Amino acid sequence: MKRTHLLLILTALLLGLNQSAHAYWPVSVDENLNVAADPDTSERYPSILPFTNSSVLITYWKFNYLYQIIDRFGDFQYQEDQLVTPGTQYSFGTWVSTNAQMVPDSSGGAFIVYSFPYGDNIGVWGQHIDSLGNRLWGDTGIRILPAADSDYQVKGDGFGGFLVVCSPNNDVFAQRVGEYGNLLWGEEGISVAVGPLYSQECTIAHDGEGGAFVIWEEGQFGYNLLGQHFDQDGTPLWPENLVINPGGAWYNSPVPDGYGGFILDMNNGGYGNDLYRFNAAGAEVWHVDNLSYFIDGGVNRIVNGEDNFVYLGFFWDAHFKGQRVDVRGVTYWQPEGAWFNLSLGHTYGTGNPDFVFRDPIFYNLYVTSPEESGPHRYYISGLNQDGNRTLGDNGVHLQTTDYDGYYRKIAAVADGGVVAAMNIQTHVNPPQFDLRAKRVNPDGTLGGPLHLLVDLEPESASIQIPPTGGSFTYNIAIEDTYVVYSDFDAWVEVTMPGGDTREITVREGIHIDYNSVIERFDLVQNVPDWAPTGDYTYTLYVGDHDYPDWYWAMDEFGFEKVSSGSQATPAMEAVNPPLDKGLQPLVNRRAWVSGVSRTGGSATASVGAQHAAPLHGDAWYLSGFFDDLSVEYRDSAAFYQSLIPNPQSLALAISPNPFNAQATISFDLLSAGMVDINIFDIAGRNVGATLCGRPGQAQRPAPTQTGHHTVTFDASHLPSGIYFVCVRAGNLAQVQKMVLVK
């Protein structure tokens, strides 16, 4: 779908039309979504976490920790940002130098953890927010550790709770907290390193069994990087602390390896970082040098990726870079890392980038500037599993500012979007800050999905299809609830009893006016006799069909196909409702059969028009869906062939078959005439194959020629699978199945 950017009808708002107020994700570099209720004050230290239904949870500090939930459309859940602990009042001088840290729970909610080294409420504190945004640990939260420092880290424990490590007064303490707020390692936590030596730079990772690996730096005039493994009860498992590096470390960050051990990214003072893997017993499995590079604190990151992989993010040689590494220590991208940005030119890459992974993309939020004084340009970029950039040469440009607020975080949400929370300094003396958010869509555009409401209503509360097949009837309503308009796609899928999902139909480029409703009545869905018995789910999606996981809204209902019992309900005749509901007729993606007419109980079909509409009892077909019929084709050349007269007259042949990348299509003409050749996939979509070097339609032989003809089908751009070639010459047509194997 060629996507239309959302247009804010400012004139309508200025005229005072009675519309409900909604926020929406900005769609241009110059627009901004201010997160805080009172901008231009002192919102600092943002954190962001993917939340329910592709929303985000954002926390920040403004004389107290606050939170807000922004949905996938850019709308705020709360008119005023919520206090994390409304029962706690902090004095004006309460010292905060870092952002709260958040980890997800196992039920769609999140834990918010923060530290106060000084003031009236010294300690590490936590609050639990459920999936609806409710506070679960009261108005004051719970104290996790009695002492605190700005050097602390929070990670999930792998069992729905979380782990905390902190180094107050140059000692190291750790705590494990259950999902319901119980302090599993006692009210004081466990002492990891307490004594005359300075202990600092502490980090933590879970072991997959309820325990944890704690890494820290210890010494006075010379430091060692040490580690210890604690079980689920907080008992140390190694007789002596593991000496990882006798020279200490400028940076260290562990992540679970998925096999009871951990992978550690660290730097011991040079430019190149060291990557280690240790098993549960503390034995070194492997050690690889210089997979990433270190230039300053806060620039490097290691994150868990898909199973058996970790990703490294860093800045080096005027590029923000990434590296993909498996649990064997094998790298998959170029030796010095894949580039998030093609080139900064002569610009300066500022610090404190953020990196996150959501399968299959590794994302980076970074800032560049011609010089340290600005202006500052913010970008989000992504690398796929091959190390290729997914959002353009330098990523998506979010905004340009005069000053850099330094603190910024990103979250990749379930629908494929990426959201950035960014501190922006608006004034130097006195210092003032804003907190802004922007979203990048899967297709690289700024903004979010169109705020549509979908109602899919069956005309029967209980739908049972007999063994011999039948049909059911339903209605559709799609409403635009905002003062915006756009185009969207709509598609219908059915989930089979075994869990497989099949697409029934798709319509692209449907236009909807702002604050309007599109309705369709008496749609008829046929269920073929060969469909297996069991429970089905019937779903309507609206959004951008080019990114089907990024649907904007959906509704569904269930039906059952029974194995025996009632008399078969015959398939209903096609019904096309009148087009008087503000919807223009649309053309389906081209399929090879159309022009269906019905007389009595028989159906005939012709080949080559724009609609997919064979009225056949042996197929899924839908009538009335935006003025068209559609069908999900079966994997049966005989079924296709049965709809076309004189199927053998063209002597159609494919060689080789199966084939890899290219196949030769041959046919015979008994009389001169124009020839159409089209290729379709198993779902009946015209795949736009390239024949004889011409994209799109097939190469047509000269209309005056008779005899034997050959053309070449180039499928190098298509995935492996079953395809159908359809050749039509005059009133003759033939279909042949071919199998692409790569």
Cα gap 438→74, rounded to integer Å: 9
**452-632 has which fold?**
Immunoglobulin-like (2.60.40)
Indicate whether this model's pTM tops 0.85.
no
Exposed/middle/buried for 4, CB within 10 Å: 0-12, 13-18, 19+?
middle
pLDDT band at residue 408 using 50, 70 and 90 as cut-offs: very high
pLDDT band at residue 688 using 50, 70 and 90 as cut-offs: low
- Identify the three-state secondary structure at position 307: coil
Q: Which of 337, 342, 319, 356 is CA-nearest to residue 395? A: 342
pLDDT digits (tens, 9 = 90+) for 227-269: 999 999 999 999 999 999 998 888 999 999 999 999 999 998 8
533 or 666, which is more confident?
A: 533
Cβ neighbours of residue 382 closer than 8 Å, sequence gap 6 or more: 340, 361, 362, 363, 364, 389, 390, 391, 395, 418
Tokens 């039509």 label which residue?
Answer: 728
Strands of 394-527 (E only): list them. 396-401, 408-412, 418-427, 432-440, 452-458, 464-465, 470-480, 486-495, 501-512, 517-527
- Identify the three-state secondary structure at position 250: coil
User: Which letter does DSSP use for residue 549 in this model?
Assistant: T
The pLDDT, as a whole number, for residue 515 is 77
452-632 and 642-740, same CATH topology: yes
Cα gap 737→635, rounded to integer Å: 9
Cα gap 206→258, rounded to integer Å: 10
Kindly list the domain boundaries of the chain, sorted by start residue: 452-632, 642-740
Cα gap 661→389, rounded to integer Å: 26
148 or 562, which is more confident?
A: 562
Query: How far from each other are the two terminal CA atoms of the chain, in whole angstroms?
Result: 28
Determine whether domain 642-740 maps to CATH 2.60.40.10. yes
DSSP letters, 647-668, are TTTT--EEESSSBSSEEEEEEE
Exposed/middle/buried for 541, CB within 10 Å: 0-12, 13-18, 19+?
buried
Is pLDDT of 373 > 80?
Answer: no
Beta partners for 191? Answer: 173
pLDDT digits (tens, 9 = 90+) for 27-51: 999 999 999 756 556 788 999 999 9
In this structure, of 61-65, 92-96, 153-157, 668-672, the range with the lowest mean pLDDT score is: 92-96
Please answer whether residues 245 and 268 qualify as being in contact, where contact means their C-beta atoms are separated by less than 8 angstroms: yes
Cα gap 258→208, rounded to integer Å: 7
